Amino acid sequence: MEDVAPVADAVARHAVVLLVAASLAALVLARLAWHVIERYAPRWLALAAPVWHRVDRRRLAARRLGLAGGVGLVVAVLGALAFVELVDALDPDEALARFDEALAGALQRHLSEGTLAFFARLTHLGDRDVLTGLVAVAVIALAIRREWLLALAVAVCTAGAGAVNSLLKLYFSRARPEFVHDLVTTHGYSFPSGHAAGSFAVYGIATYLAVRHLPRRWHLPVAGAAMLLIVFVGASRVLLQVHFFSDVIGGWLGAATWTALCITGLESLRTVRAART
């Protein structure tokens, strides 16, 4: 414990400052990445096209997945691999597991009641009832527009993320960290975090819908807002000591994998339909 305890203590002492700094850094990096992709992606694709055509001579990927579906599949594979690596690091002898325990204890010692109360309110943005309500509004709005496929995709993606997360909780059966306040109530197992997974799936698919339906100038602001919501809801579970740090990372990775698979399937259907018409 000695090797990670000082780091955990330092993180706990400056938890809110580190969270804000990390969020701002993520926004800046996202903006830079967005700019680079918009400017250079067509050139990269043009350079990669001859090589890819040799690999996929029958153009199955182009005809069955499309660009967005292909990117979604890559993200899903990377997310699944990262989740497996994270699970390997949960062994009690691993540094990450020891950091989890040390951070939970340090947060108990250093966070003020005011900070805990603030994040206890903020964490409700990841509550099941709140997310279910948002999904219901989105599905109804899409149904009114007669976009049946999108409505079904939103329902399947969000409900499936919750179901997958529940199954993973049962499989790993990890106990939650102990906490001394009564600001929130918890039940069930700890890994992966349901709030982290649910918020990622719902706000992530909302970003996808925004890119599909809103003017281009709104894409980056909506994506940035969704990213902040996901980060702060996940972080609130750690700061409230109802989840370990790795629980939240696991929830994000699991939801990212599932959401990317759903988007891949949806984009594949759209690509096949477009090819037929």
Instruction: For residue 225, tell me if it sits in a domain.
Output: yes
Instruction: For residue 63, tell me if it sits in a domain.
Output: no
145-157: pLDDT as tens digits: 898 888 998 999 9
DSSP string, 98-151: HHHHHHHHHHHHH--HHHHHHHHHHGGGG-HHHHHHHHHHHHHHHHHTT-HHHH
Count of structural domains, the chain: 1
Do residues 241 and 119 make contact, with C-beta atoms less than 8 angstroms apart?
A: no
pLDDT attached to residue 213: 82
Q: 82 in helix, strand or coil?
A: helix
Instruction: For residue 64, tell me if it sits in a domain.
Output: no
pLDDT attached to residue 219: 82
Instruction: For residue 224, tell me if it sits in a domain.
Output: yes
Q: What is the mean pLDDT of the chain?
A: 86
Q: What percent of the chain has pLDDT over 70?
A: 88
67-120: pLDDT as tens digits: 666 777 888 999 999 999 999 889 888 889 899 999 998 998 888 889 999 999
Q: What is the mean pLDDT of residues 16-37?
A: 87
Instruction: For residue 238, tell me if it sits in a domain.
Output: yes
pLDDT attached to residue 130: 93
Q: Decide if pLDDT at 61 tops 60.
A: no
Q: Decide if pLDDT at 159 tops 60.
A: yes
Instruction: For residue 42, tell me if it sits in a domain.
Output: yes
Question: Which pLDDT band holds residue 233 (cuts at 50, 70, 90)?
Answer: very high
Q: Decide if pLDDT at 257 tops 70.
A: yes
Weakest-pLDDT range from 5-19, 192-206, 208-222, 236-250: 208-222
pTM: 0.87
Buried b (16+ CB within 10 A) or exposed e, 237-246: bbbbbbbbbb
Q: Decide if pLDDT at 236 tops 70.
A: yes
Structural domain that includes position 196: 5-56+69-276
pLDDT attached to residue 94: 87
Do residues 76 and 260 make contact, with C-beta atoms less than 8 angstroms apart?
A: yes
pLDDT attached to residue 1: 46
pLDDT attached to residue 40: 76
Instruction: For residue 62, tell me if it sits in a domain.
Output: no
